[in-house]
Structure 1
Amino acid sequence: MQLRIEDMTCGGCAKSVTAAITSVDPNAKVEANPAARTVKVVTSASGARILKVLEQAGYPATVS
């Protein structure tokens, strides 16, 4: 799943995004690119669940 996260602008943001995703699926593979404001996620969790946890963490995302 490829996500666009407009509010992810730095490495600290990327860490927070990664932590939010791995709180739902500890085995998720997360590649965050703050410069492009994109995240690639390989997870067994549902897309809706990932989007919800990111919203709760303050990083609303859209599927791109």
Structure 2
Amino acid sequence: MIELNLPDMTCGHCASTVAKTVALVDPAAKVDVDLQTKQVRISSNEDRKDFEDALTDAGYPPAQ
């Protein structure tokens, strides 16, 4: 399970974009977006860094 904090995710549109970005990295990934806590949980065999890079490119860099 990959857990990321995305401080720039503030609305439903952001959450949708995050979910779509995760799907671009791994179409089979299961993603749970919690807008209230700005947390994203991803169940995937892909590398965490691939998701971090894709989300950063989409405008949602994970907090370190």
User: What is the TM-score normalised by the length of structure 2?
Assistant: 0.92
Q: Secondary structure at the match of 1:36?
A: coil
Deviation at 1:45, TM superposition (A): 1.0
Q: Which runs of 5+ in 2 are unaligned?
A: none
Shift of residue 35 of structure 1? 1.0
Superposition CA RMSD, Å: 1.0
Q: Distance in 2 between matches of 1:47 and 1:10?
A: 23
Q: Distance in 2 between matches of 1:34 and 1:9?
A: 7
CA contact (8 A) 1:3 1:39 kept: yes
Residue 15 (1) aligns with residue 8 (2): no
In the alignment, what sits opposite 2:42?
41
In structure 1, what is the equivalent of residue 30 of structure 2?
A: 29
SS at match of 1:39: strand
| Counterpart secondary structure, 1:15 | helix
Runs of 4+ in 1 over 3 A off after TM superposition: none
Name stretches of at least 5 consecutive residues in structure 1 with no aligned partner.
none
- In the alignment, is the contact (CA less than 8 A) between 1:9 and 1:37 conserved in 2? yes
Percent identity for Structure 1 against Structure 2: 33
Determine the structure 2 residue equivalent to 1:2: 3
Counting matched residue pairs gives: 63
